[in-house]
């Protein structure tokens, strides 16, 4: 491939100049593996980008997309519908946390977050509490890349280039506490009290001004940060006490990643709104959604019936191909028991990951279900470089991982076998030693 053929594409979240000097190209995928244009096999340690939960090239999904494209390529979602959109919503509600029984479709996790934030604001206005306009995020949170998402998000690099963002946004403290919780297996023991930081913001702003709090049950993009035991329960209690909506961003944790269909079920805490994407279609067709409680939906169902109740949506909401892919994805999950399979595999996964403790510069390991983070000590003056070098070394060894700062993130397809886990960890160990 000539260098000129790479010039036109401005790549997202990529070191473009470095990539184009030595491209890492993928040409095919099946099961647990990608293949390069040269035919080299690459084990997928991150389910594509946290999304290919059922593994690559699943026949039911491929067939469903092809058949839907031939049957009906597009249906307008405004004032019109198609059967698969309603069928999918029913199927999603069946596996969702009890009480989340309404589904609003989007096209990505970023759009799902924007939609959830707008629902929260409009809900309070619809019920006569229009003063509730403030949105609360969390430090080190990631909620996509649209203006609302980066405003409530707490990643510096996502925020610093884009000005003042949304006004009226504040943040509670993150839960990363390596001094007390390093090398925890599963949920850390210490830190439930960190949820009380929300009370600080209530005291500062008054509850009557706060619409919603949004958190990831497990913060994935900032290095697999798990909620301390009791933390999410305490957050739920505080929100209920002050009439604040609780939003869970489950774009990464949804569809089996933590051992239950959703992390809300794993941790036993039900939010008022929940965003999903990624695993919804196994990454095959872009799609997202927002789950909402009945009472939130019903607050909008007033006034003349011919008027639009919630002035929001997207041209490609409930796209027929996406709905077909999602239905086939849910069937595939059910056929293979994938929505709970992480529970069966997590012990082997955990033991393998924690075997890396003691390697050079490994300062913490975090895991739950089939998601893990290995944090490395940063090089002086070169934050993120050590982990990136491990990423490049693993690529050369035939393993694809993800890095965020100096943390290596793993989220393999849920079809993973013990031998794949062992190969991932052996490859990582070699790379960490070599890069040290």
């990529």: which residue's tokens?
14
Q: What is the pTM of this model?
A: 0.96
How would DSSP label each residue in 56-105? Answer: B--HHHHHHHHHHHHH-S----SS---HHHHHHHHHHHHHSPTTEEEEEE
Average pLDDT over residues 160-180: 93
Write down the pLDDT at residue 142. Answer: 96
The four Cα atoms 304, 306, 310, 313 give a dihedral, to 10 degrees, of 180
What is the per-residue pLDDT across 357-400, written as a single tens digit (0 to 9) for each? Answer: 999 999 999 999 999 999 999 999 999 999 999 999 999 999 99
Q: 3-53+338-435: which CATH number, 1.10.10.10, 3.90.1150.10, 3.30.70.1450, 3.40.50.620? A: 3.90.1150.10
pLDDT exceeding 70 applies to what percent of the chain?
99
pLDDT band at 1 (very low <50, low <70, confident <90, very high): very low
E strands of 163-244, at which residues?
A: 169-172, 210-215
Spell out the domain ranges in the chain: 3-53+338-435, 62-336
- Looking at CATH, the fold of the domain delimited by 62-336 is given as 3.40.640
pLDDT band at 436 (very low <50, low <70, confident <90, very high): confident
What is the per-residue pLDDT across 133-156, written as a single tens digit (0 to 9) for each? Answer: 999 999 999 999 999 999 999 988
| Rounded Cα–Cα distance for residues 378 and 386 (Å) | 6
Taking 90 as the threshold, does the pLDDT of residue 9 lie above it?
yes
What is the per-residue pLDDT across 64-90, written as a single tens digit (0 to 9) for each? Answer: 999 999 999 999 999 999 999 999 999
Write down the pLDDT at residue 4. Answer: 57
The answer to whether the CB of 187 falls within 8 A of the CB of 108 is no
Among 15, 65, 89, 146, smallest CA distance to 318 is for 89
User: Do the domains 62-336 and 3-53+338-435 match in fold?
Assistant: no
Distances in whole angstroms, Cα of residue 365 to Cα of each of 2, 43, 117, 178, 258: 41, 21, 32, 10, 16
| Rounded Cα–Cα distance for residues 138 and 388 (Å) | 26
What is the per-residue pLDDT across 85-117, written as a single tens digit (0 to 9) for each? Answer: 999 999 999 999 999 999 999 999 999 999 999
């Amino acid at each position: 491939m000539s260098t000129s053929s790479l010039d036109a594409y401005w790549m997202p979240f990529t070191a473009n100049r470095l990539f184009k000097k030595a491209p890492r190209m993928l040409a095919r995928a099946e099961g647990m593996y990608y293949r390069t244009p040269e035919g080299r096999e690459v084990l997928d340690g991150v389910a594509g980008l946290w999304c290919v939960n059922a593994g690559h090239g699943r026949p039911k999904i491929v067939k469903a997309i092809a058949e839907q494209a031939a049957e009906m390529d597009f249906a307008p979602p405004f004032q019109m519908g198609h059967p698969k959109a309603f069928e999918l919503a029913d199927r999603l509600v069946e596996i969702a946390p009890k009480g989340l029984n309404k589904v609003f479709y989007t096209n990505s996790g970023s759009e799902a977050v924007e939609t959830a934030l707008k629902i929260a604001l409009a809900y309070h206005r619809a019920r006569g509490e229009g003063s509730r306009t403030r949105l609360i995020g969390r430090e080190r949170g990631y909620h996509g890349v649209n203006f609302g998402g980066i405003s409530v998000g707490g990643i510096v690099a996502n925020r610093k280039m884009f000005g003042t963002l949304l006004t009226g946004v504040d943040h509670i403290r993150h839960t990363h506490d390596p001094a007390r919780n390093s090398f925890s297996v599963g949920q850390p023991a210490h830190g439930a009290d960190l949820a009380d930081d929300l009370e600080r913001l209530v005291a500062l702003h008054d509850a009557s001004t706060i619409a919603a709090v949004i958190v990831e049950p497990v913060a994935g993009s900032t290095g697999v940060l798990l909620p301390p035991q009791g933390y999410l329960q305490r957050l739920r209690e505080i929100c209920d006490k002050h009439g604040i909506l609780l939003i869970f961003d489950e774009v990464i944790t949804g569809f089996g990643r933590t051992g239950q269909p959703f992390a809300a079920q794993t941790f036993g805490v039900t939010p008022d709104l929940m965003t999903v994407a990624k695993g919804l279609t196994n990454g095959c067709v872009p799609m997202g959604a927002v789950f909402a409680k009945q009472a939130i939906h019903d607050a909008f169902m007033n006034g003349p019936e011919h008027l639009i109740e919630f002035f929001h949506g997207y041209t490609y909401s409930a796209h027929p191909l996406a709905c077909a892919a999602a239905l086939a994805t849910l069937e595939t999950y059910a056929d293979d028991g994938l929505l709970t399979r992480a529970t069966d595999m997590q012990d082997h996964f955990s033991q393998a990951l924690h075997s890396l403790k003691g390697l050079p510069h490994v300062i913490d390991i975090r895991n739950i279900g089939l998601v893990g983070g290995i944090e490395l000590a940063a090089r002086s003056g070169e934050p993120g470089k050590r982990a990136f070098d491990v990423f490049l070394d693993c690529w050369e060894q035939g393993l694809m991982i993800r890095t965020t700062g100096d943390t290596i993130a793993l989220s393999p397809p849920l079809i993973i076998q013990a031998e794949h886990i062992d190969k991932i960890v052996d490859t990582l160990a070699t790379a960490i030693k070599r890069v040290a």
